[in-house]
Amino acid sequence: MRYPPLPADLFTSNRQRLKAMLPPRSLVILHANDVMPANADGTLGFVQNSDLYHLSGVDQEETILMLCPDAPDPKQREMIFVRETNEQVALWEGEKLTQEQAAERSGIQRVSWLQDFETAFRQLMCYADQVFLNSNEHPRATSPVETRETRFTRRVRREYPLHDLRRLAPLMHRLRSEKHPAEIAALREAARITGDGFRRVCRFVKPGAHEFEVEAELAHEFLRQRARGFAYTPIIAAGANACVLHYITNHQECKDGDLLLLDVAANFANYNADLTRTIPVNGRFTPRQRQVYDAVLRVFRAACSMLRPGVILREYQDEVGRLMTTELLGLGLLDRDAVEKQDPDKPLFKKYFPHGTSHHLGVDVHDVGATWEPLRAGMVLTVEPGIYIREEGLGIRLENDILIGETENTDLMADIPIEAEEIESLMAARAR
């Protein structure tokens, strides 16, 4: 494994917290994600089911977790089933987890091979009253491909039509939204590696470099520090490309006078950082670039201070929109009379700031968490305001990751340069 395994206490604690949410005689079943085919006999890189990983720490395909806290047989209260390895598997694919390794990683004492699942499953289905099955219920999710969990849910409905089937996702959303100290440590490490990557590219970027060369510098730094790689497909957008919110082709030249928007971060131990910085390709902001940059930075600072326990994200977003409107008026991008007459459901600031300001962060980059429930201490959220002026070919976004605290927040990226003077000073080191 590239990254050091997180402590089994984390996953044991996560399971205990889930069990406290379950009614009596409940059974929980989670499946690993499929290995997705590519072309010919190729496959895409494996990405574990986030909920399964959060409860077990097992980062391997063909894994099933079953929890039945009230099972009459204590050995059946926590069980994990992993793929049995052999010499042929080890030869072609590399070693898989042994039962002992799976137990050590997860804190689950009952580890069985996958072929033993059916017997235990049928025994526990005869006991359970409620069966909690999982699905991807992220509000932004689209699921054109049928998952292993979807197939299993269809099977359970067919074979056990009289059981009370329930949704696990709402419980997992609440469970995952508040971070354990070990999770915060992983997020800190992802942020640290990300910061090293950012400093590296600030010393590399100059007129004539290509966006894909910047991507290569980041990949080198992330991988050499034991990150899994990028937390998400990197956005490395020079000039007008920065006005495309999800620009990922990363193929154009960085030209003198351009700004370069970097929305890039590392994944460490399945936990994701999320950083955005915007830097001048030649190392110096123009007066107009600096004017817009400082406006975004002021909104960023204000938004960071607004994220507190009890805040509702939807209400927070409305307040950030009012702050952004003030900045856009100051930049001459909005007309005051037009703002006073605007449709409240179609605020004018969205022409220049069309996306949200914050999202939950964790095992998923856009991690689960309800936007209509009050924030709680222990949550980690991004703050990422931006201004995109298409007619000027100018786009600026800034983003850090914020841990919500009882009395004060912690910026997990506080040591990554963000002030314009810091950026210029860091880039000036290129010529030394």
Encode pLDDT of 21-31 as tens digits: 999 999 999 99
Amino acid present at 370: A
Q: On the CB side of 207, how many CA atoms lie within 13 Å of its CA? A: 7
> Could you read off the pLDDT of 227-252 as tens digits, one per residue?
999 999 999 999 999 999 999 999 99
Q: Which of 183, 189, 327, 399 is catalytic?
A: 399
Q: Which of 355, 415, 419, 430 is catalytic?
A: 355
pLDDT recorded at residue 249: 97
| 399 included as an active-site residue | yes
Give the DSSP letter of residue 431.
G
pLDDT recorded at residue 22: 98
pLDDT surpasses 80 at 309: yes
> Could you read off the pLDDT of 381-411 as tens digits, one per residue?
999 999 999 999 999 999 999 999 999 999 9
pLDDT surpasses 70 at 173: yes
Average pLDDT estimate for 111-118: 97
Q: What is the dihedral of CA 263, 265, 267, 268, to 10 degrees?
A: -160
C-alpha radius of gyration, the chain, whole number: 24
Q: Residues 6 or more apart from 428 whose CB is under 8 A from it?
A: 283
User: Which of 176, 210, 225 marks a domain boundary?
Assistant: 176
Give domain status of residue 35, yes or no.
Answer: yes
Q: What's the distance, CA 425 to chain centroid? A: 30
Among 431, 129, 406, CA closest to 284 = 431
Domain count for the chain: 2
pLDDT recorded at residue 141: 84
pLDDT recorded at residue 370: 82
Q: Which of 359, 360, 364, 367 is catalytic?
A: 359
Give domain status of residue 384, yes or no.
Answer: yes
pLDDT surpasses 70 at 260: yes
Average pLDDT estimate for 110-125: 97
| 388 included as an active-site residue | yes
Average pLDDT estimate for 47-68: 97
Q: Which residues pair with 279 in a beta bridge?
A: 260
Q: Which of 246, 314, 390, 430 is catalytic?
A: 246
| 274 included as an active-site residue | yes
| 359 included as an active-site residue | yes
Residues 115, 25: one domain?
Answer: yes
Provide, rounded to the nearest whole percent, the portion of the chain with pLDDT above 70.
99
Sign of CA dihedral 334, 336, 338, 342: positive
| 246 included as an active-site residue | yes
pTM of the model: 0.95
| 384 included as an active-site residue | yes
Answer whether 118's CB lies under 8 Å from 69's CB: no
278 burial class (0-12, 13-18, 19+ CB within 10 angstroms)?
Answer: buried
Residues 185, 171: one domain?
Answer: no
pLDDT recorded at residue 4: 85
Answer whether 52's CB lies under 8 Å from 28's CB: no
Q: What is the largest CA-CA distance in the chain?
A: 75
Give domain status of residue 418, yes or no.
Answer: yes
Residues 164, 208: one domain?
Answer: no
pLDDT surpasses 90 at 93: no
> Could you read off the pLDDT of 190-205 as tens digits, one per residue?
999 999 999 999 999 9
User: Which of 176, 206, 228 marks a domain boundary?
Assistant: 176
The CATH number covering residue 98 comes to 3.40.350.10
pLDDT surpasses 60 at 378: yes
Average pLDDT estimate for 367-377: 92
How does the average pLDDT of the chain come out, rounded? 95
Q: Which of 232, 271, 293, 388 is catalytic?
A: 388
Q: Which of 189, 263, 327, 364 is catalytic?
A: 263
SS3 125: helix
pLDDT recorded at residue 143: 79
| 41 included as an active-site residue | yes
Residues shown for the chain: 432
| 263 included as an active-site residue | yes
Residues 169, 33: one domain?
Answer: yes
Q: What's the distance, CA 66 to chain centroid? A: 25
pLDDT recorded at residue 431: 54
User: Which of 176, 196, 230 marks a domain boundary?
Assistant: 176
Joined tokens for residue 31: 């499946």
Joined tokens for residue 20: 């406290």
Give domain status of residue 1, yes or no.
Answer: no
Lowest mean pLDDT, pick from 154-163, 274-283, 317-326, 423-432: 423-432
Residues 276, 246: one domain?
Answer: yes
Average pLDDT estimate for 32-42: 92
Residues 288-291: contacts with CB under 8 Å, at least 24 apart? 288/392, 288/394, 289/259, 289/394, 289/396, 290/420, 291/331
Give domain status of residue 3, yes or no.
Answer: no
Residues 285, 148: one domain?
Answer: no
Q: Which of 77, 188, 192, 366 is catalytic?
A: 366
Give domain status of residue 402, yes or no.
Answer: yes
Q: Residues 6 or more apart from 99 whose CB is under 8 A from it?
A: 82, 111, 112, 113
Residues 211, 147: one domain?
Answer: no
Q: Which of 215, 258, 367, 384 is catalytic?
A: 384
Q: Given pLDDT bands bounded at 50, 70 and 90, which one contains residue 432?
A: low
Q: Which of 274, 290, 301, 337 is catalytic?
A: 274
Residues 423, 276: one domain?
Answer: yes
Q: Which domain does 400 fall in, by range?
A: 181-431
Give domain status of residue 2, yes or no.
Answer: no
Distance CA 343, CA 326 (A): 17
Residues 322, 347: one domain?
Answer: yes
Average pLDDT estimate for 128-153: 91
Q: Which residues pair with 301 in a beta bridge?
A: none
pLDDT surpasses 60 at 322: yes
350-367 as b/e: b if 16+ CB within 10 A: eebbeebbbbbbbbbbbb
Cα 418-272-289 angle, rounded to 5 deg: 25
The CATH number covering residue 372 comes to 3.90.230.10
Residues 172, 186: one domain?
Answer: no
Residues 170, 210: one domain?
Answer: no
Sign of CA dihedral 86, 89, 90, 95: negative
Among 393, 386, 423, CA closest to 285 = 423
Residues 166, 185: one domain?
Answer: no
SS3 26: strand
Give domain status of residue 85, yes or no.
Answer: yes
pLDDT surpasses 60 at 94: yes
Place of tokens 């605007």: 342
Among 255, 387, 368, 373, CA closest to 320 = 387
Among 312, 336, 309, CA closest to 402 = 309
